[in-house]
Structure 1
Amino acid sequence: MSREFYQSPRSTWLMRLFWKAAGADRYILERTTYGDQVKYLCLGGIIIATGMMAGLAGGYAFYTIFEPRGNAINSFKTAGDIAGTYDAIDIPTMIKAVIFGFIWGLIIFNIDRFIISSTGKGDGTEDITKKEFMGALPRLLMGAIIALTISKPLEIRMFKTEIDIKLHEKQIEQQQAYKAKTDSVFNSELASKDKEIEKIENDIADKKNRHKILEQNYIEEARLITVGPRALAVKAQMESVAAEIKELENNPDFLRVKKEKEAIEKKREDALSQSEKYASGLDGLLERIKISHEISGTVISLFITLLFMAIELTPIFFKLMLIKSPYDYMEENIKELIKAENGIETQYNYYQDKEGRERDKIVQHQVIRLLKEKISLLEAQSQLSDEALHHWKEKKKQDIRKNPELYVNEQQQQNGHEKG
């Protein structure tokens, strides 16, 4: 706006965007001072930045929660490469995380915009009184909660390398503990089956040794003389032992126990093969936050949280500390003009409530005018109805004086219809 003593700077589309984010009135800002324009430009910038950080934090948290589970350190570079690790990105989860982050960022942006635009300007001085602070306390609590939701995902992203290494160690420990527990569960069953198998195998081994000795005796007997009765007797014993060995090896109980042992061993191998999968399940958002606190310590973690709280809560405190400027007076003036145009009168400090606090009285003149008109119309209609009833009554009286029998007959007929 051009004046003889001052010319308001022209606004750019970026300034108007930031003004809208801060809930400021573009019409007023384009007619006020440059200081007011910059003030709401910075305020809107903080709100937009908070929404963007919330979107990044929400998207990263979503990806961390729903990404395919695996080792915390997926793959290492070779010794000749630069030391470090790299992760394979799951594209479907990444797309979902981007969509969720965008929606989450918009939600936080709108909440912040509502908090800032609904926060008053205090008493127009730099001091924050107890009354002002208590009035802003719900908004401060909401801002603190939003700051926490933003800071934690970004915190685990800041310490991702250290968290991955520590988490990988925990996954290995978890895997070893699972394997030990699996072995302890299956070892007792396998030991029972081994005892049964060992007993039969010992019998088989004894008979095989007996068969070997008989075989040697037969060879010696057959070498010394021709195959005679003694050699044939040894051969018969040999064949009997061989039959016993075959019978033991084909014993149904022996074969059943061996199959049961094989089934138990297969279950054990399947359970052990799942150990890496179960250990990978340790890679969750909560576990990463816990490790982040272990690595960074209380002081650094608290400092990061307070940093985001400062970013989130600064606009609220600044609005309470702002000294009234031309924008504020012009905004109040426009509000009063709109109220006056619509017949709304505010009588300030008109009465005191039960707690002794002064309250304003709001007088809705248009409502009062319409109410009075409606009351007058209803009163006039009531008076006209009374007048009409009065004249109708007089006319009826005249008709009865002229012909009373007709009136009586009409009443009798009417009573007869009602009884029928």
Structure 2
Amino acid sequence: MVQQFFILCSGADTSILKTCSKGEQNKYAGIGATVFFTALMAFIACSYALYTVFDNVYTAVFFGLIWGLLIFNLDRFIVSTIKKRDSFGNELLQATPRLVLAIIIAVVISKPLEMKIFEKEINQVLLEQKNEMTLANKNQLALQYTPTIEKLNTDIAQLKNEITIKTAETDELYNTYITEAEGTSGTLKLGKGPVYEEKREKHDAVLAELNTLKETNAQKITQIENEISTLNTEYTNVVKTSQPVIDGFDGLMARINALNELPWWPSFFIFLLFLAIETSPIIAKLLSPKGTYDIKLEEEESMTNTWARQKIQQREQILLADTALNEKIYNEIKREEEVYAYKKKKAEELLKLQADAFKNLQVKQL
């Protein structure tokens, strides 16, 4: 049962193969098994590749099954259309386009399986790429907010600097009237005289200005700090909104590019493995000697071609004979006077009837 299934997979003519030896049947069963398991690997590879795209098991399995059947049909077609010839050069010539197609199929099958085999390494590469993209994204977004925030911080520093300058001026005036009262500077007279009062009033006026400046600048600083806080919040929200795009950077193309970042030789040998599997039925047919099945198949094809040529020749001969007979018959009829006279009489009668009908029509119109 299993052997018959694999023979069916090989594309061989079962009616002819049944009359061949067991060894010949086993050879084509082996070829069919290779075709079947190649299609099975194609199904698994395509399902995994599509799962990375759709994130849905049922969708991936459905399209993977279609792809597996397509590869099965292609492989079966490739193997079944290679016929053994008396010349190896002719066999190689007819197998060349099929080998090219087999190489393409091997690439398509091996790449998703390579991604599954090296999944952990690919995830590590993707993680590093995502981290780099996250930092680059933050820096890029920061360029939109940093100049404004720096300008606002500069404004805050200027406002604080104004308070510092005014405070220093107030402190200096305070020291001036204190030392005047102590008699250590100014008039050098101890006590609170008119000069002391003048300097005290000047200090009090500047102190009032300082208090007003502190209050005004404090309000301005609070407003600017609120703006900075708003910009920081907006920046955080923008980063948070764009982060899912970076986190989702693990699709099929991203994984293929990540696979290319890994050492090439493991992937290359996996590709060679699938290439050997995919081309093995073709190579086996090319290298194997002409077997009983090939001889019987060639004989049946020759019988069919001979029968078809015979039928074509028979139809051509029948056509030639029929054409010759028709020409002979019609030539003899042309020479018959009786036939000529009869046809002439009937033609005259027809012309008379047409003339009478035309006359009657004209009379009716008058």
Determine which of 257, 270, 290 is the counterpart of 2:237: 270
Q: Does 1:118 align with 2:77?
A: no
Matches within 5 A, 1:203-242: 203=162, 242=211
1:104 deviates by 1.0
Give the equivalent residue in structure 1 for 2:183. Answer: none
Distance in 2 separating the partners of 1:377 and 1:337: 33
Q: Does 1:345 align with 2:303?
A: no
Instruction: From the superposition, tell whether residues 382 and 296 of structure 1 become closer, same or farther in structure 2 (CA, over 3 Å).
Output: farther
Residues paired across the two proteins, number: 342
Give me the CA root mean square deviation: 4.5
Instruction: Report if aligned partners of 1:144, 1:313 keep a CA contact under 8 Å in 2.
Output: yes
Determine which of 48, 63, 77 is the counterpart of 1:100: 63
Instruction: Report if aligned partners of 1:59, 1:97 keep a CA contact under 8 Å in 2.
Output: yes
Determine which of 154, 165, 168 is the counterpart of 2:127: 168
Determine which of 261, 264, 278 is the counterpart of 1:312: 278
More strand by share: 1
Distance in 2 separating the partners of 1:390 and 1:248: 135
Gaps of at least 5 residues in structure 2 are: 174-196
Matches within 5 A, 1:14-413: 14-67=2-55, 93-123=56-86, 129-203=88-162, 242=211, 245-250=214-219, 257-274=224-241, 276-298=243-265, 300-338=266-304, 343-345=307-309, 364-365=312-313, 367-368=315-316, 371=319, 391-397=342-348, 410=356, 413=359
Task: Return 191-200 or 311-320, whichever deviates more.
Answer: 191-200
More helix by share: 2
* TM-score under structure 2 length normalisation: 0.73
Give the equivalent residue in structure 1 for 2:186. Answer: none
Instruction: From the superposition, tell whether residues 23 and 408 of structure 1 become closer, same or farther in structure 2 (CA, over 3 Å).
Output: closer
**Structure of greater Rg:** 2
**Which secondary structure does the structure 1 equivalent of 2:275 belong to?**
helix
Distance in 2 separating the partners of 1:366 and 1:201: 115
Distance in 2 separating the partners of 1:290 and 1:212: 68
Q: Match for 1:313: what amino acid?
A: T
Distance in 1 separating the partners of 2:329 and 2:63: 63
Instruction: From the superposition, tell whether residues 366 and 143 of structure 1 become closer, same or farther in structure 2 (CA, over 3 Å).
Output: farther
Instruction: From the superposition, tell whether residues 122 and 408 of structure 1 become closer, same or farther in structure 2 (CA, over 3 Å).
Output: closer
Identity in percent: 29
Deviations for 1:275-315, whole angstroms, at most 9, x for unmatched residues?
643443443434433443443333x3322212211111121
**Which secondary structure does the structure 1 equivalent of 2:93 belong to?**
helix
1:333 deviates by 3.6
Gaps of at least 5 residues in structure 1 are: 1-11, 68-92, 215-228, 347-362
Deviations for 1:198-249, whole angstroms, at most 9, x for unmatched residues?
33344467778999999xxxxxxxxxxxxxx999999998777655544445
Give the equivalent residue in structure 2 for 1:357. Answer: none
Q: Match for 1:270: what amino acid?
A: N
Instruction: From the superposition, tell whether residues 45 and 377 of structure 1 become closer, same or farther in structure 2 (CA, over 3 Å).
Output: farther
Distance in 1 separating the partners of 2:167 and 2:318: 119
